[in-house]
Structure 1
């Protein structure tokens, strides 16, 4: 047809547009009829449609006075006139592709209006991409060769190319959170860059950790084709190796330039058809070259341009973002996996620390699984001999097959790879052990195993090297940097596990030593069979021998030493009977308690007997409502309240960093006294509470503990204040457990200080003994550079009467007066304390007069001499 241009890609779309517009106009008119259910008259429909066509750019004119014709240039080519007319019906029925094309060529403004108003930007640019691809195909076939640099459509092509690049970038960024494989991303990047630059193909190379480059995949290959040989990164080899080395994009304009001396080997799979090459190194988020993309075009194609380089550079920039995202996801996943692994290690190792050998076997098993090694070795450091040694070796695929060697292997710590690591503290990752001069082949000779690759790392405990763990032969390839990082974290847990295993061994050995020491101590600190037989053979006190025992004025020092144990048994039997007690156990218990009191000046067996007697007197009054278990606990606690006393106060034990002070934070000696009581009860034939039920036994022990702890004078003031408040307000109630236990605590203090209630001659002798013990402690404190308090300062012995006056007034009398209010029968203790107070007051007054007289004499003598010490005349 004359005047018809070649078909364009947009023709069918324009045709469909016009036809659809006509149909739309008909529908529009029908919707506006008064009777929408009736068809519109033909004349009306066509007239209105013509008007609407006219408003959209069609030239519609009336014909023959009754019909309208549509006039368009070159719509039909069967006439000589440039303008022809047709009816709207003819236009609707006879419209075709050529008609629309010719019409749009004559009315370009209508096409512009259509595209601007109805076609999306993506559709327009997809048309341009398709058009460019169509042109490229024609270039390959030799139909048409465009001069790209001089083409008048260059801006359109560049815009199309930029849009094409954005489309591929969007594809590359799509679902970025799902991309977790860096190699897969490299493939997608290479494919996208190849498409965006209209390359004929590409080669993708990967750079290994040991700086070698391998051809991973080619666009011409159906599957990955990893080459068995690789090239070192650097000049003098392939183009890809050189690009990876110089870290720059390299553009080759012609095939002759491929054989440059910097890259004489050109590109892999090179053939004579390749004309232009563009090699772009790919950097990861850590600025390391991870690969190289090689794009190529064959002969007959235009070479790569600077804009192609810009496209590739833009893709590489976006790839960095993706690499960073993948790296973060990979790091998080790897860290999560490592954390789960370490948690399993911790649970498995720390929950079952039986011995050092067991821990070592588990460490080797977990270490192999972590880095996928074939075998593992763990050498411990002998700091005395400066040697590394191992008794356990991995002889199979699982640590469960590892067995202690009959004879451990030892070698100097400066020999071999393990020795180097132990000496320097450095981590070694060796790919070929036999090529490393530090490798000690003797171990292989002894074990019969062939070592290839090694990963060796020190194990530290508190900053010092404790041993060396060595992974042998990676199952696939060699040990990587990731293996090193994971293994370094694991080594910390190894150190903790070995440290705890070492402590466990020490504790276990200490426990065995403790059992042996306790056995020896029990043998020597319990009564002998001879002592038991002798005491048992003595007659029980009776008659006049015991008539004064219930009296508070009875002096424990008035009976012989060997009789005291017998009197304890008598008092026990008198208070509680023998219905629930075995007499032989009671004898042994009493004798062993006596034996466990040290020979110190005051806190000895005599003091224990005196305190037990004071409690016996209170309990005998029957003016109380204590239960049988409470009374038993009070008497036993008094007898045992100072067991193994060292003659030192709690404050001194803390200041001197005594082991006891490290065990007990408060009431140091009192806790020790109770534990000694329990130890004696646990010895064979010593448990006087054996006939009690389990619940009664626990209850008595709890009461005994509370009573012994109450003898700590630091607790007395709080107990006294509570009890006094209840008593003054008439609220004290014998039925209240709290009230009774507080009263028992005050009773323990009263019994412990009962020496202040004894007749004067006993009181004065006892005080001299007490202060001798105090002065002994003061002497030790002075030797340690500590100034003792006045009560324990031997140089201030003249202040003893004043000290005793303050002690009785401040502690003893308030205690006994309160007790007498609740248990009136204990009033003799108040009387005894008042009597002794008067004696001490007399001595204090006498001392005061002596001191005043001495002061006067001193002042008088001072007046007889001048300032130079000469007598005044």
Structure 2
């Protein structure tokens, strides 16, 4: 490999150009003293050499006749021209030189095979005894360092195939020594490494072609290949010249693609292909076992969650169904459609009967089995935990708010959409533990190991499906299979949208549509956005209730916050002020911030698509005014206490 101070001249192997190129093609020795007049090589010499008159160009061949190089000798005008004797002497030397090249290559191949064997032995030991660190080891250590050095490549890429989406994604992309050194020194400006997860359809680009066909590709000039995607080069400023790309198989199925880019000297050889093919085979085994371990780990976590659920919850009995059916009612359920209905005024069983009333009022009592409906609602109630806020009362309150929204605008949502919205509202916080997603991740909860995003929300939906699958609980049994699928899909969308992390992008999209007067109920995506924002509005409905209800709910909210703060402090982490029970004086200002940052923007956008929900916006504004007054009063008290302490 040339040093940094050396200049490397590359010439194409072809006739009709230079002397060296001609000899490389023909493997003939050439003696000449007037290259400018020779039609075989009109471009003369391949290198710039001064005062050259006589030239002797000789091919360097291995024992098997394969060309490994060209040697070119020069003499000046005052010297003698090359004779047959010179050619014979040179040929003798080059005969031994070819043998030397051959043995040098054998030694290089043996050394490379030794490194490959050592790598495979190490990899196998991890496959047999250390699944837990395998995927990290493979991607971050061996693939990064060994694979590149094995074939003398500048960069390395590993793409995995997602069989469900028929897409490929790069867990590690374009790793090179320059980027590795930059990471060690913290100099991000010199790093060209791309660590983001890139997804693209199978069949796209060279890697996609290899994944689709299962064929290996060794391409000496990628810019002359129509399959090459130049966008990455354009993005990074890096220039890809040649590459070696091979599929990773498991049971005759392509699960990934490994790709080496830009061999440091020349192009990738047959020897590189053979060595890399062995490497790719063992990569496949390693990835396969890593995926098996991940499945086992996820199954264990799900089993832990299931045991926890069984110890906490149960399904309803027939006695409970009969008791609720026979329970006398002392409430006027017609007031349920008012946005100001006090949810806490009903006891637990009355909430079940009120839910039955709302469900039948919206969808008809003749279409759904009533015992099944009661059984479903009671089991949903049982699956809400006895936590200060995210409990059965909250679930009922959100369902009641959605009922009021639908009743206020009965023709906006389609029947199947109304069904999904109401059931999603009722079930949206099933088995909530009184802790947020961030806490679950930081505490390494089994749930966090199962779901990578919207942890609680995914769990709430899956628990809803689990209840529907219990005997005598499937309230959707009368629906056609197509409507059943649609409702479940829509329920999932609605429950996931209650994750406040999704609220902000949803609100921004919907607000833009409203501001530009481009929102349309005929557009499916627009309808889904409206459903999502409506779910959030109902989830936050306590902020729009009359002041006495608002105060009652806030007590539960902050008690749940404080319990999480206590748990964080036990784990050695200082909780934020909102969750710190030693900072009760900051409750009013926290409420002001919450109403201004989340609740008001949510209701403003909701009213933009559902004007009849304006009572929720008005209620929120009224509560904000009261909280601001309390916050100002608390601020004055704090300042007075500070002044007294300083005197």
Structural mapping, 1:64-79, within 5 Å: none
How far the C-alpha of 1:753 sits from its partner, in A, is 0.9
SS of aligned partner of 2:634: helix
2:637 corresponding residue in structure 1 = 850
1:784 corresponding residue in structure 2 = 571
1:149 corresponding residue in structure 2 = none
CA distance in 1, matches of 2:621, 2:525: 30
2:397 corresponding residue in structure 1 = 610
Structural mapping, 1:364-375, within 5 Å: none
Contact 2:321 2:375 in 1 (8 A): no
2:601 corresponding residue in structure 1 = 814
How far the C-alpha of 1:602 sits from its partner, in A, is 0.5
Pick the aligned partner of 1:631 from 407, 418, 422: 418
How far the C-alpha of 1:604 sits from its partner, in A, is 0.8
Structural mapping, 1:489-528, within 5 Å: 504=292, 511=299, 518=306, 521=309, 525-528=313-316
Structural mapping, 1:84-483, within 5 Å: 176=65, 321-322=98-99, 325=102
Aligned positions, number: 409
Corresponding position: 1:802 with 2:589 = yes
Pick the aligned partner of 2:334 from 541, 544, 547: 547
Contact 1:640 1:673 in 2 (8 A): yes
Tell me the alpha carbon deviations over residues 210-252 of structure 1, each in whole angstroms, 9 at most, x when there is no partner: xxxxxxxxxxxxxxxxxxxxxxxxxxxxxxxxxxxxxxxxxxx
CA gap of 1:175–1:770, structure 2 versus 1, over 3 A, is closer
Aligned Cα root-mean-square deviation (Å): 4.3
1:537 corresponding residue in structure 2 = 325
2:375 corresponding residue in structure 1 = 588
How far the C-alpha of 1:769 sits from its partner, in A, is 1.1
1:574 corresponding residue in structure 2 = 361
Corresponding position: 1:739 with 2:526 = yes
CA distance in 2, matches of 1:567, 1:818: 29
How far the C-alpha of 1:580 sits from its partner, in A, is 4.1
Pick the aligned partner of 1:760 from 544, 547, 568: 547
1:208 corresponding residue in structure 2 = none
Corresponding position: 1:690 with 2:477 = yes
How far the C-alpha of 1:509 sits from its partner, in A, is 9.9
CA distance in 2, matches of 1:791, 1:805: 12
Unaligned runs of 5+ in 1: 1-171, 179-313, 351-485, 863-873
Q: Give the TM-score of the pair, scaled to structure 1.
A: 0.41
CA distance in 2, matches of 1:513, 1:716: 28
How far the C-alpha of 1:524 sits from its partner, in A, is 6.9
Pick the aligned partner of 1:680 from 467, 487, 491: 467
Tell me the alpha carbon deviations over residues 425-452 of structure 1, each in whole angstroms, 9 at most, x when there is no partner: xxxxxxxxxxxxxxxxxxxxxxxxxxxx
Tell me the alpha carbon deviations over residues 758-777 of structure 1, each in whole angstroms, 9 at most, x when there is no partner: 22222112111110111111
Contact 1:629 1:700 in 2 (8 A): yes
SS of aligned partner of 2:632: helix
2:493 corresponding residue in structure 1 = 706
CA gap of 1:755–1:317, structure 2 versus 1, over 3 A, is closer
Unaligned runs of 5+ in 2: 1-60, 68-90, 128-273
Contact 2:402 2:425 in 1 (8 A): yes
1:775 corresponding residue in structure 2 = 562
CA distance in 2, matches of 1:798, 1:609: 30
CA distance in 2, matches of 1:561, 1:772: 21
How far the C-alpha of 1:331 sits from its partner, in A, is 10
CA gap of 1:584–1:523, structure 2 versus 1, over 3 A, is farther
CA distance in 2, matches of 1:504, 1:522: 27
CA distance in 1, matches of 2:334, 2:590: 35
2:535 corresponding residue in structure 1 = 748
Contact 2:454 2:499 in 1 (8 A): yes
CA distance in 1, matches of 2:406, 2:586: 36
Contact 2:298 2:449 in 1 (8 A): no
CA distance in 1, matches of 2:318, 2:489: 33
Tell me the alpha carbon deviations over residues 385-442 of structure 1, each in whole angstroms, 9 at most, x when there is no partner: xxxxxxxxxxxxxxxxxxxxxxxxxxxxxxxxxxxxxxxxxxxxxxxxxxxxxxxxxx
Q: Which has the larger radius of gyration?
A: 1
How far the C-alpha of 1:498 sits from its partner, in A, is 9.7
How far the C-alpha of 1:734 sits from its partner, in A, is 2.0
CA distance in 1, matches of 2:332, 2:287: 65
CA gap of 1:670–1:797, structure 2 versus 1, over 3 A, is same
CA distance in 1, matches of 2:638, 2:312: 51
2:194 corresponding residue in structure 1 = none
CA gap of 1:330–1:790, structure 2 versus 1, over 3 A, is closer
Could you say which structure has the greater relative contact order, defined with CA pairs below 8 angstroms and 6 or more residues apart? Answer: 2
CA distance in 2, matches of 1:528, 1:595: 8
CA gap of 1:315–1:327, structure 2 versus 1, over 3 A, is same
